[in-house]
Every structure is written in C-alpha cells, then in structure tokens.
Amino acid sequence: MTYYWTPPTQQMPSPPRREESYIENILRLNRGKPGVFYFSFDNAVNGQNTKAVRGVVEAAGRDHAIIRELKTDHRFLFPMIYFDYAEFDEELAYFTQTP
C-alpha cells in the first residue's frame, strides 16, 4: 500500500460580512425613531384585519418586531409575516450602498 503525503491547506480568510438589507435589519438600524407601523392579518378577530401603531421599534428579530406605542407606552409583539410597511418621521439609517 502506498501512502502519499499531502501538505496542509491554508484557509483563506473570509471577506468581511456585509449586513443584508432584510426588513428586520433595517428596523434594527432605526430603533427609537418615531413612525407608523402597519400590519394586516388574515384571520382577524371581530373583523379588524389591520392595525396601525404610532410608535418606535424597540427590537426586531428575524420573525418579529417589538413596537412601543408612543401615546400609551403599550408594547406590541408582532410577527413579521403580518408587517406591511412603515412610515418614519425622519430620515432613515440604511446600509452603505457600495457595489
């Protein structure tokens, strides 16, 4: 039986990871900025299938967002599947747009 020596391979360093522009990442970048957040639901109770909350993002994960309503200080945990869109009162932070 013949054995061959193979030199160890060097691992190349991976390039720095760019943040991806998923909605939850954009919401995270803009935590604390006031806006209106719109959600709609397929199987709603009492016929109310939409919800608009004037508030700020406290946290956002891959599948959820925590919105604090400004007027009442009430907090909502919304699944992202129900998120429609948001309107912010000020300029948004966003990722650098370099090719």
Instruction: Give the C-alpha separation, 90 to 4, whole Å.
Output: 65
pLDDT of 47: 74
Instruction: Give the C-alpha separation, 93 to 78, whole Å.
Output: 22
- Residue 30: is it exposed, middle or buried by C-beta count within 10 angstroms (0-12/13-18/19+)? buried
Contact 76, 52 (CB under 8 A): no
The overall pTM is greater than 0.85? no
Query: What pLDDT digit, counting tens, does each position of 7-64 carry?
Result: 666 666 665 556 567 999 999 999 999 999 999 988 777 778 999 999 999 999 999 9
